[in-house]
Amino acid sequence: MFVQQFDFLQLDSPVIFGLFDQSCTTFTPEWLEEDKQREIKFPKMICHPQHNLFKIDDNFRKAVFFNGVPHRQRRKYWFIASSGLKLLIQVGNTWEFACQHASMIQSSSNSLFCGRLDILNFLPPAVLLQIETFLHIFWTQNNTIEFSPLIPIVASLLLLYMEPSLAYLSLQAMVNKSKMQEGWFFCLDKKTFLAQAKVFPQICEKRVKNVTKHARIINVNIEAVFISFVSLFFFPFVDLQTALTLFDIYLIEGRRFLIQFLLALFQSEEKILLQTNNADDFIEVLTDAIERLNDLNSLKIFLIKNVAKASVGKWNQLIRHEENFIKSLVKTQDVRNLQIVSHDDHVYSAFKSKIMNFTEEELEFDEENDNFHNNLDYFSPTENQTGNIMGVQSMNNIRSNLIQATNDEIEAAQAMITRSFADNHLMRIHGGRLLTVPMFYSIRSRLSPVFHKHSCQLVFSKSLNGCSLDNLIFSTNLSHCPHILMIETKDSLIGALISDSLKNEYSCNFSNMIYDQNDSREIEIDIDNDTNQTYQQADENEKAYEFYGKPSTFVFNAKENEIYQKFHPQNKMYIGYAPGEVIIGGPNPAIKFKDGLNEVESYQCDTFGSPQLINVKEEIREIEVYRLKIFKKRSKGTAKTV
């Protein structure tokens, strides 16, 4: 039972006080069932009799590691595990004071602590602005922290479940513990940050010696691999549900867990990594392995069979190795050589097109202007890749580079890491105007993991390809893959994820018939041996439709960022076609349009459980169709990164 004096916090409340409901994510049926099981298995937090605080013992730690934390108990668990509750007892609620103090200080890019928020694609722009405001307030109380790229990501995750006042206490407590216990959660300066990257290859040398040897042969820098994955909490390759499960464990185990997790990846993929021929393939293996963990069963197996058995040594041993590395930096403190030359192997300028090598002229530091110049074409590596930025040379030169680099320099370089490292892995929107990045990510969250590496390519646009319905249908028949339909009217923007290519009279066999609303009769239908269904017709003109498609089809309101989908729908009327018409859903369609593409209609639809998306009929301004496709290389065109 919770301590009575903290009842005002409502930690036992099932209400989500944070921003989770505003995020672009939903629970799949598998995750819903998993959450039910977690509720059953999750142990009660036992109050310590002496300190009147909850005690997290070894049994509790194991339960979190192997079973996870239920969705509606994360706020309570995170607040306790982060020591936020303990800090509240010690100093009280300091949020209002921090807000007042921050209001007198001008906003600064330093408030991101050289981290990134643009990789958190599950957060809409409005939510990101709230997080940036929160980080500014937090930075004004912690402006001595010079470099800690994990802080913005941790803050964002905390704010999903906590109101700002509690998230502030939790994050402050995590920083305090990191100061007292040698960076338990965060590396708070550039020295420690680089030190942990240097120690990781030493761990790999003991646990996966063949992989480190092979990495040197194919010119892969393990330190840079570590930085690019761990400093971003494995985003953007993990989806939100996976990241939350990892974060549950991170709050108990600290950053040691992130090291353990990456080592487990190296161990589990050792055989495949040894077969790679270049750096590009090496990273492809790791990113594919991470993305497979977005499948719930794969994640649970990996945590139990791989991560739990991955040995990175005791915490004191890790700290001792990091301290030895930091001491070695003292000898090179007076060196100022920020030019990124072929022998410098600079970590923060390392990731270019997934750890490829580039020449000195392509990436250089201008000492006079004191900032990084990005002269790179991110999408087309040059032919003369004679440099060795990602090479296997000694790290001696970059030690002083990192220590003496300013925050602006590191922030610019960190941006380059994020952009170029994930370049060939992120979903992108190629062409088109109507499909936005937040909407695309929302759609992605409803797709099978097999499509999580697919980008979108515009294949039809009314303004470009005309008003022929047959042309629109033909554009979806070029490949057998899902398509995204976007329809813009004066006041609305709606669409659908279509599981199959659209059909016309040349491809319809009309094996399953249904009559349109335009008849006063009741008509029985039989689709795929479903139970016969009846519905009341409305008009005299009857139109025959063939229905087909899969349950992965759904409709959405893009302006409101709302998706409508039933995993067990009342009928199988996903996509319907009659000569000159296409409908999505039935018997009353969620979306209906005809040849000429002049008007779109919408009704309350049983198939998706969707309301009327527009005012019955509206004039179509634009229709766009996108197909999902894997793009191995990003073109020089303007693609919107997700």
| Structure confidence at residue 324 (pLDDT) | 84
Confidence at 543, pLDDT banded by 50, 70, 90: low
Give CA–CA dist 265/254, Å, rounded: 18
Main-chain dihedrals φ then ψ at residue 218, nearest 5 degrees? -95, 10
Q: In what side-by-side order are the strands of the sheet with 581-584?
A: 513-515, 544-548, 575-578, 581-584, 591-594, 599-601, 617-619
Average pLDDT value for the chain: 76
Q: Give 238-268 pLDDT, tens digit per residue.
A: 889 999 999 999 999 999 999 999 999 999 9
CA dihedral of residues 3, 4, 10, 14 (deg, nearest 10): 70
Of 425 and 65, the one with more pLDDT? 65
Confidence at 487, pLDDT banded by 50, 70, 90: very high
Mean pLDDT of 495-508: 77
Q: In the numeric block, which tokens belong to residue 633?
A: 């290389």
| Structure confidence at residue 348 (pLDDT) | 32
- ∠ CA 470-474-475, nearest 5°, is 120
Of 9 and 483, the one with more pLDDT? 483
Read off the amino acid at residue 271.
K
Give CA–CA dist 236/209, Å, rounded: 28
At a CB cut-off of 8 Å and minimum separation 6, what does 327 contact?
none
Strands 544-548 and 513-515: antiparallel
Give CA–CA dist 398/328, Å, rounded: 12
CA distances from 217 to 165, 206, 276 (A): 50, 18, 11
| Structure confidence at residue 322 (pLDDT) | 85
| Structure confidence at residue 381 (pLDDT) | 26
Mean pLDDT of 67-80: 93
| Structure confidence at residue 398 (pLDDT) | 34
Q: Give 119-133 pLDDT, tens digit per residue.
A: 887 888 788 889 999
Give CA–CA dist 73/250, Å, rounded: 16
Q: Give 217-229 pLDDT, tens digit per residue.
A: 998 889 888 988 8
Of 369 and 196, the one with more pLDDT? 196
Of 335 and 322, the one with more pLDDT? 322
- Is residue 617 predicted with pLDDT exceeding 80? yes
Query: In 405-461, which ranges are continuous DSSP H helix?
Result: 407-421, 437-445
Mean pLDDT of 54-60: 77
Of 607 and 360, the one with more pLDDT? 607
- Is residue 403 predicted with pLDDT exceeding 80? no
Read off the amino acid at residue 142.
N
Sign of CA dihedral 214, 217, 220, 221: positive
Is residue 591 within 8 A of residue 494, CB to CB? The reply is yes
| Structure confidence at residue 331 (pLDDT) | 54
Mean pLDDT of 586-608: 94
